[in-house]
Amino acid sequence: MFSEAVKIEQRVEEGKGITTLRFPMGAKVRPGQFLMVWIPGVDEIPMSVSFIGALAGITVKEVGEATRALSLMKEGDVLGLRGPYGNGWQLPPGRVLCVGGGVGMAPIMTAAEGMADRTRVDVAIGARNAGEIIFEGRARRASDDVRTTTDDGSYGLKGTVVALADQMMREKRYDVVLGCGPEVMNRYLLKACKQHSVPCQLSLERLMKCGAGLCGSCVIDGLRVCADGPVFTGEQVERMTEFGRWKRDDAGLRVSL
């Protein structure tokens, strides 16, 4: 665990409203872990690590004030970081299908690269439209079988990434599926994996304050997304009564998703 201030060395526009910031970082990170990223004067938010190594990175999609401020940061600007937090993926042996929806590709990509064996890792990339498909080139360097899909058919197949993953599970036998995306995607992916009897791991998201397992703001059925997750096994997710139905707001009140 560390806290440090880093200078942004590289800023890359990955897609429409999706930006990668790269910075040198001392701490060792495992695929699937996240950082608490402080934008001084604005906010501090959890971000999956999208690049591991000497020049680490996060990939942010503009959805609100904090993500917009982060997206607008330039090379040379300072970010506060603490972490890495969370469990990360259990990178298994065997044939793996990595499924990423939108900016959910960030932790998916580090998993695909972390396995370092393009013959046993397949990647399904989904987004709402062509402008939001990210990391396809990286995926093709890490895998022999990369497929893309968009909701509006503007790139790759037309349809959801879960339908694509379902198709791939029909064609090939996978030992495990790793998934990260919007909760509705995770929910249907879990269902598809169950139908094909393939174990899965899903990276989940909740409103997060401390990030360090203390405050309890990110709990789902008592499991802390920050400290017990963010990656949960399909069995764990199936037992969650709140998954796919409720989240907690800033006050800890349960609200419908």
| Contact residues for other proteins, defined by CB under 8 A | 1, 3, 5, 36, 38, 40-41, 43-45, 78, 80, 82, 209-217, 219, 221-224, 227, 248-253
- For residue 53, the minimal CB distance to other proteins (Å) is 22
Nearer to other proteins, 5 or 184 (CB): 5
Q: How far is the CB of 200 from other proteins (least distance, A)?
A: 23
Least Å distance between CB 24 and other proteins? 14
Question: Which backbone phi and psi does 123 adopt, to 5 degrees?
Answer: -130, 130
Shortest distance, CB of residue 41 to other proteins, whole angstroms? Answer: 7
Cis geometry, peptide bond prior to residue 230 (ω within 30 degrees of 0):
yes
**CB 164, min distance to other proteins, A:** 34
- Give 35 or 202: the residue with its C-beta nearer to other proteins: 35
Question: Shortest gap between Cβ of 205 and other proteins (angstroms)?
Answer: 15
Shorter beta-carbon distance to other proteins: residue 45 or 123: 45
> CB-wise, 130 or 210, nearer to other proteins?
210
Considering the complex, state which of residue 73 and residue 163 has its C-beta at the smaller distance from other proteins.
Answer: 73
- Rank residues 13 and 221 by Cβ distance to other proteins and give the closer one: 221
Q: What is the residue-wise DSSP string for the chain?
A: -EEEEEE--EEEEEETTEEEEEEE--S---TT-EEEEEETTTEEEEEEEEE-SSEEEEEEE--SHHHHHHHT--TT-EEEEEEEES------SS-EEEEEEGGGHHHHHHHHHHH--TTTEEEEEEESSGGG---HHHHHHH-SEEEEEETTSSSSEES-HHHHHHHHHHHS--SEEEEES-HHHHHHHHHHHHHTT--EEEE-----SSSSSSS-TTEETTEETTTT-SEEEHHHHHH-SSTTTEEE-TTS-EEE-
